[in-house]
Amino acid sequence: MNLQNKALVPVGNFLQSLTLPAQVSRARTKLVASLNAELQNLAESEKQLVADFNGEVNEQGQINWSDGVAPIEYHTEHAVLLNEEVTIELNQPTLMKALKEYFAEWNEDIDPQYAEAFDAFFDALETEQEN
């Protein structure tokens, strides 16, 4: 399943907001763990990007810039990083099948705060089903 880096947190939050049947819930739990692993990779890439532009990330996650302000090039490169697609693996075919089948028939109301996350997740799921 492919998602953009910027969708990792919203999709994870959306999935965790759902009450699901047992097997689908297990699949969701495994998928969220994979999302979290990719988030760790993203965090490391962001820290490296900050360092590349002479910034520093402190203990609280705030960025301190040597000149007091982020270079424009940093924002450009950060946007590129957030738009990169990553592959989220769920290496358990039975659970992936349960997840796909459940969401293929799913037609519940979507809380507006999760609308974009649902859209990104469903697009990724549909693309996964085509493969």
Average pLDDT over residues 82-108: 89
Encode pLDDT of 96-126 as tens digits: 888 889 998 889 999 999 999 999 999 998 8
Look up residue 71 and give its two tokens. 């270079």
Look up residue 102 and give its two tokens. 């459940």
User: Residue 131: what pLDDT?
Assistant: 61
Q: Where are the beta strands (DSSP E) in the chain?
A: 2-4, 55-57, 63-65, 85-87
pTM for the model stands at 0.88
Main-chain dihedrals φ then ψ at residue 86, nearest 5 degrees: -120, 155
CA gap 72, 82 in Å, rounded: 16
Encode pLDDT of 31-69 as tens digits: 999 999 999 999 999 999 999 999 999 999 899 998 889
**Contact (Cβ atoms closer than 8 angstroms) between residue 88 and residue 37:** no
* Domain boundaries defined on the chain: 2-124
